[in-house]
Every structure is written in C-alpha cells, then in structure tokens.
RNA sequence: CGGUGUGUAGCGCAGUCUGGCUAGCGCAUCUCGUUUGGGACGAGAGGGUCGCAGGUUCGAAUCCUGCCACACCGACCA
C-alpha cells in the first residue's frame, strides 16, 4: 500500500472528547471514525487489524473443533420469547417492527439462534459434543457508550456455543476453550490479559471466567493476590479472609445523637471509629419484598453478592414508606425491633461476628451502643452471609496477604451454561438407550474491537500504538525521505516491490514530505518493522532498519536488505504462532 | 435514566457575558516556488444555512423558549 493512496487521515490534534489512549490513537491514526454514539466505521487500517484479529481467533476456534457459522443479525421476537428473554431484557435489546408489524430485534447475543440450530440439526448423542461459532456484528443499545472501541453499541464479536451430552464433557471442553483463549490473547500480543473467576449473573449457569486486559481505563475492578496468580476475582464476587473477634459483651445503651445520621457523623459525634458501628441498608424488590441488610460501618454492601444471595436482580433502595412499614426509622434504622414477618433480615458476617456495635435505635435522634448479634436479636429469623465489597489491602482468601486492586477491560468470557437455553427451547438428542436428553451447553465470547483497542492501551508510546506483528496493519513500513530525489524514490520502490514479491505486507511512504512529518505518521500507524531510505544512507549504499519500539536499530546494504527484512519479519511472526 | 459540559469550515479553537459593517485564527486541503533526518517557509486560493426550530429586535453566532446531538461522571451493562 502507498501512503499517498491510504484512506484515513492522520490528525495532529487529539479529538477534544477522547480521554483514553486507544480512543485518541484510533482517531488520530485514521483507524476508525465515529458515526454516532458508540457506533464506529472501520477505515482500512482498522479493518486490517480487525481482520487479522479475527483470523487468529478463527484458527484457534477451529483447533478446538469449532465449526464456523453465521447467524442473522435480525431475529424474531418469537424466537426470543422461547427463552423469555424478549421480555426480560431491558432497553439494551433493540426491538423494532417490520413492515407487517411483526416484532423483531437486533441480535445482542445468539444463544437462541444457535440453540435453534442445534435443536434442528442434532438428534443423536453420536453428534455430540459439538461447538459452533461465528464472528459477527452485535448490537447492544448501551445506555452509555464510552472510551472509543472499549464500550460501543455496535461491534464485532466472536461468539461460540458448545453442546454436550454430559456435564463432565462440558467441563473438559470448557478447559480446552480456556486454553484456546489463553493462546488467542497471547497471539494477539495481549500480555496483560488474565483470566478471573466471575459472576455468571443473569446469563444463567454456574462456572464462568472473564478474560481481563489489565488497564487503567478498564471498567471492571479486580482483586488479585500479591503474586497475581493465586487469587484473581472480579469485585462482584471477590471475597476476603476476614477475621472478626468477639469481645466481652457490654450492656446496651441508648445515646442521644442529634443531627447525626450517617455512620461518619455518628462516629465523629461519639468519638469512635466507623468499624465500631453497624450500618443498615434497606432494599426492596419489584414485588415489594423488603430486605434489611446489616453490615459493619467500614464495609460497603456488594449488591451483586446480595442479589445473588436473595435470587433477585431487581433490588433497589427501599422507599421511606417501605422503611416505615417494617417498623424502622429512616436514618436511625436498627435490626432490633423491626418486624421479621414483613422483612427479610440479612447480616453480613462483619456485623454478625463483631461485638458491641453502635446501631440505630429506630427512634429519631437516637442510636444504641453495644449491639451484639447473638444476644440482641432472634438469630433464627436472620440470614448471615458474605455480602461485603472487598477493598484493596483486605486479606487474600488464598494467601492471606493483602489483596491488590486493578482495573480490567473484559475482552472475553466463557460460561458453563448448563441447560438454561436447551431446556427452554427443547434442544434434545437421543442417548444410547433411545431416550431424549436435554443438551448441556457452554458459551464463549470475545470482543474483537475491544481486544485490539486493549492492545493499544497496553502497547504504545507518546507517538502512537506499537502493534505486535500478528495484528499490525502492515508488517514493514518503508519511510522514504526526500522522495523527490530520483535515486531515493527508485531505491524505495525497488524495496517495496521485492518485499511484496516475498509475501511481506508493506506500506510505502511515497509522498515528498519532511522527515518529521513522515516519522510522526509512521509512529501513529505503529508498524513494527521500519526501513528508512534517504540520500544520506543511500550515499553509503545503505538503508536503515528500526523497530517501532526502538529496541533495534541497524543498517543493511541495499543488496542484503530484502533478505534481512524477510528473515526478521518471519522471526517476529514465529513468536505469535 | 440522573449530574456536568460542549455544539461556530475536515480537526482544534476565538468571538456569545455587553446584539451592529463582508464571522475570525491555527492545522488540514488546492496552486506556484523555495525547502527536506522528528509535524518547514513564502505567495495565492477554496471551504460556513454559527446544531435545529420558534420567538424578541430595525438588526441575532450573541438575548429568550423548546428540541436535538456529542462527550465526561454516575446508574445500567447476558
């Protein structure tokens, strides 16, 4: 490709709204252009990176016996009603009607579509296990797209679905998929990706892992053991090895606490610490069931854990009326004296296992000192569990050392789905005895754009991205200085043609521009191998070779340059196979 | 969906508070010339319904009302 022909202007100034590195460089380098909030067009450079990313994913999926398919983007409400998701998913599912007023939707994921295929195409245990996948456009009507390609509404995703006749088979295949994912991210040059345990959330099923690219701009908060491998978990499910010690119980004592409602205010007023307090958080679900949650003052309720524990996704803070209804007083709510018939009482371990806490008195302007779980409420009406949000420095459940907090971009995930979809849709096969059995499923996703955006987050300098050769838009960039001089132009044209003839992907600078201009453009394009052809070098019969990361600088004679570069490129490529 | 902010040339911005001649600047683009190892210089040229609609006014980019779009923070996120 010739720079003079390449579509996608390099832009000197960063777009004013872009905050994240990958967003800035993708726009500045001419990789992508925005169309609408969270909707991007890929320009030639971006498309080439996407295509290479997809090719690597495809190879690895094929290696674990994946069979590539392509499902429609547009599906019918009818299909999605089979699993109930047409009605259960919120506004991020884009629904619309066709000309005949038939209800349709834009696919945001394809469990239904693939399960429908499995239902019709698989009838015998002899066909199992099987894995089907696609690399296709997804549409999710995100409430808030952000950070360029990190969170978008329309994007390319590799989604895969496996079907099995036993849980054991699913589990062993799941391990294979996990290994395939590790190979994929390694081959994409994503050295910063780790796999962590995650909450399977509303997806159904039990076991799941997220593949997180560790990056400051990541939306997810992760907790890792100090060694980075013994324990790795998303904040939504992270646990810590807390030790709470019981102290001798003191007598209950009511204290007048005027103008003090929050834990901090009360602690300041009473001259003690927030961990000497019990905090009450009151939720309700859409059916009006109220939940009284008690946790020690220095902890925050982890709503993901709470939702999982109560089995409801629709928890919101209770209204003042609901709080009054259960016999509590807003701002002074106490676990003592509320009606256990009207409310589910849940204690975090921190509140149940600590002693002499200060809690509300269920009386305007008053708190009670020295609350003790075992003594002061009917524990048979209370659930005790772990619903605390882990904090950096809390003791690791595996090593006991302080947990380290990181942020991550979720670039992939794998789930053991079980029979949630196959059951709902009647995806069955006949076993050896001729009996109909429900297929057991797994699913496996990777965001293509998010992955290569994460590569930039991890691999860049002050001038632009530094692409790994496995997904770089081209392999070699020939920078021609003084292209107006015939001998220089001739030399770089010759290198261009000869390298191409050897199967190398080359970008040729054929514009007559200043060196600084050329190098800045080249840095924004980030191609790993660079040849510089200039009058200065040429006079000595040399061309200069440099890697984008600045690690290697050498000079080759004109005669040996092609051979040398082919060798270097092939050696580099070999690192990503 | 809540909070904040921004919409003026392809990009980045000034002008808006305090209404007034033909709406400016830098970068980018086109022409000519000089330059050429980290975003050159000179001369010339093109490019705008000032986000949209309505209103106030002799006169609106500027004031008023409504709407739309985009970004950031939060909620949400299979």
Report ipTM for this prediction.
Answer: 0.88
The pLDDT of residue A203 is 44
How much is the average pLDDT of A319-346?
75
**pLDDT, tens digit (0-9, with 9 covering 90-100), for A137-160:** 999 998 888 888 899 999 999 999
Instruction: Name all contacts of A17-21 with Cβ < 8 Å and 24+ positions apart.
Output: A18/A148, A19/A147, A19/A217, A20/A147, A20/A148, A20/A150, A20/A217, A20/A457, A21/A217, A21/A456, A21/A457, A21/A460
How far apart are alpha carbons A41 and A19 in whole angstroms?
A: 19
**Strand B at less than 7 A from CB of A513:** yes
- The pLDDT mean for chain A works out to 88
- Return the nearest residue to B5, CA–C1': A17
When mean pLDDT is compared across A19-23, A263-267, A453-457, the lowest value belongs to: A263-267
Residue A376 has a pLDDT of 78
- Nucleotide with smallest C1' distance to residue A536 CA: B37
Nucleotide nearest to A516 (CA to C1'): B38
Structure tokens of A320? 């003042």
Q: What is the mean pLDDT of residues A306-326?
A: 76
* A159-163, A181-185, A205-209, A240-244: the lowest-pLDDT one: A205-209
pLDDT of residue A202: 44
- For nucleotide B37, the protein residue with its alpha carbon nearest to C1' is A515
Secondary element (H or E) of residue A254: strand A253-256
Cα A178 from Cα A415, distance rounded (Å): 10
Q: Which domains does chain A have, with CATH numbers?
A: 21-73+108-238+405-456 (3.30.930.10), 253-385 (3.90.960.10), 474-574 (3.40.50.800)
Q: Are A417 and A206 in contact (CB under 8 A)?
A: no
Q: How far is residue A197's CA from residue A75's CA, in Å, rounded to a whole number?
A: 32
Protein-contacted positions of strand B (CB under 7 Å)? 1-2, 5, 11-13, 26-28, 35-40, 69-78
On the 0-12 / 13-18 / 19+ scale of CB atoms within 10 A, A89 is middle
Cross-strand partners of A346: A293, A383
Q: A378 versus A53: which is more confidently predicted?
A: A53
The pTM (predicted TM-score) of the whole model is 0.88
pLDDT at position A524 over 90: yes
Task: List all residues 6 or more positions away from A213 whose beta carbon is below 8 Å from its beta carbon.
Answer: A185, A190, A192, A193, A408, A409, A411, A451, A454, A457, A458
Name which residue leads in pLDDT, A286 or A214: A214
Question: Is the distance between the Cβ of A369 and the closest atom of strand B smaller than 7 Å?
Answer: no
> How many Å does it take to go from CA A508 to C1' B37?
17
Query: What is the model's pLDDT at position A156?
Result: 94
In this structure, is the CB of residue A303 within 7 Å of any atom belonging to strand B?
Answer: yes
| pLDDT for A287 beyond 90 | no
Angle between helices A167-187 and A44-63 (to 10 degrees): 140
CB-strand contact A141/B, under 7 Å:
no
Report the pLDDT averaged over residues A477-501.
Answer: 92
Question: CA of A307: how far to CAs of A280, A311, A471, in Å?
Answer: 16, 6, 40
Report how far residue A155's alpha carbon sits from residue A137's, in angstroms, rounded to the nearest whole number.
5
**Structure letter (DSSP) for residue A206:** S
Between helix A21-28 and helix A448-458 the angle, nearest 10°, is: 100
Radius of gyration, alpha carbons of chain A = 30
Spatial separation of the C-alpha atoms in residues A128 and A169, rounded to whole Å = 9
Angle between helices A558-574 and A486-501 (to 10 degrees): 40
Asked if residue A544 has pLDDT above 90, the reply is: yes
- Comparing C-alpha atoms, which of A532, A533, A535 is closest to residue A523? A532
| 3 state SS of A355 | coil
* Alpha carbons within 13 A on the beta-carbon side of A250: 11
Q: Is the CB of A156 under 7 A from strand B?
A: no
Distance CA A293, CA A279 (A): 8
Residues in chain A: 577
Judge whether residue A372 contacts strand B, using its CB and a 7 Å cut-off: no
């Amino acid at each position: 490709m010739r720079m003079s022909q390449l579509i996608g202007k390099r832009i000197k100034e960063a777009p004013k709204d872009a905050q994240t590195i990958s967003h800035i460089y993708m726009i500045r380098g001419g990789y992508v252009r925005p169309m609408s909030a969270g909707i991007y067009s890929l320009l030639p450079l971006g498309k080439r990176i996407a295509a290479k990313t997809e090719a690597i994913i495809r190879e690895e999926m094929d290696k674990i016996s994946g069979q590539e398919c392509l499902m429609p983007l547009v599906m019918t409400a009818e299909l999605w009603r089979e699993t109930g998701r047409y009605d259960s998913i919120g506004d991020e599912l884009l629904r619309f009607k066709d000309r005949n007023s038939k209800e349709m939707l834009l696919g945001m994921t394809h469990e239904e579509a693939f399960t429908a295929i499995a239902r019709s195409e698989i009838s015998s245990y002899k066909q199992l296990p099987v894995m089907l996948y696609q690399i296709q456009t997804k549409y999710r009507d995100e409430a808030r797209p952000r950070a360029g390609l990190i969170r978008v509404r329309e994007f390319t995703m590799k989604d895969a679905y496996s079907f099995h006749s036993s849980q054991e088979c699913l589990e062993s295949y799941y391990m294979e998929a996990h290994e395939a994912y590790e190979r994929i991210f390694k081959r994409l040059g994503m050295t910063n990706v780790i796999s962590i345990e995650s909450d399977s959330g509303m997806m159904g099923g039990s076991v799941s892992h997220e593949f997180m690219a560790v990056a400051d701009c990541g939306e997810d908060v992760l907790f890792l053991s100090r060694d980075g491998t013994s324990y790795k978990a998303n904040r939504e499910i992270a646990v810590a090895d807390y030790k709470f010690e019981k102290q001798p119980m003191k007598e209950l004592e009511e204290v007048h606490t005027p103008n003090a409602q929050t834990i901090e205010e009360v602690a300041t007023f009473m001259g003690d610490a927030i961990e000497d307090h019990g905090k009450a958080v009151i939720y309700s679900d859409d059916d009006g069931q109220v939940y009284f949650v008690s946790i020690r003052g220095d902890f925050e309720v982890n709503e993901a854990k709470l939702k999982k524990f109560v089995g409801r996704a629709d928890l919101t803070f209770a209204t003042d009326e609901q709080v009054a209804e259960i016999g509590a007083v807003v701002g002074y709510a106490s676990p003592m004296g509320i009606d256990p018939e009207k409310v589910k009482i849940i204690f975090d371990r921190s509140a149940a296992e600590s002693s002499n806490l200060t809690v509300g008195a269920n009386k305007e302007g008053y708190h009670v000192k020295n609350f003790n779980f075992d003594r002061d409420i009917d524990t048979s009406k209370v659930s005790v569990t772990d619903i605390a949000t882990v904090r950096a420095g809390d003791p690791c459940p595996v090593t006991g050392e302080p947990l380290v907090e990181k942020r991550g971009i979720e670039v992939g995930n794998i789930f053991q789905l079980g029979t949630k979809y196959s059951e709902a849709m009647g995806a069955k096969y006949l076993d050896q005895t001729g009996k109909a059995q429900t297929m057991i499923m797994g699913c496996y996703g990777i965001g293509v754009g998010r992955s290569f955006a994460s590569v930039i987050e991890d691999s860049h300098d002050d001038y632009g991205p530094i692409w790994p050769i496995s997904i770089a838009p081209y392999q070699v960039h020939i920078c021609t200085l003084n292209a107006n001089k015939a001998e220089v132009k001739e030399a770089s044209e010759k290198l261009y043609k000869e390298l191409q003839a050897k199967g190398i992907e080359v970008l040729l600078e054929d514009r007559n521009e200043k060196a600084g201009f050329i190098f800045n453009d080249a840095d924004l394009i980030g191609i790993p191998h660079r040849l510089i052809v200039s009058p200065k070098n040429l006079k000595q019969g040399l061309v200069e070779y440099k890697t984008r990361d600045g690690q290697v600088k050498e000079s080759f004679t004109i005669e040996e340059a092609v051979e040398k570069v082919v060798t270097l490129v092939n050696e580099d490529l070999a690192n990503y196979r």
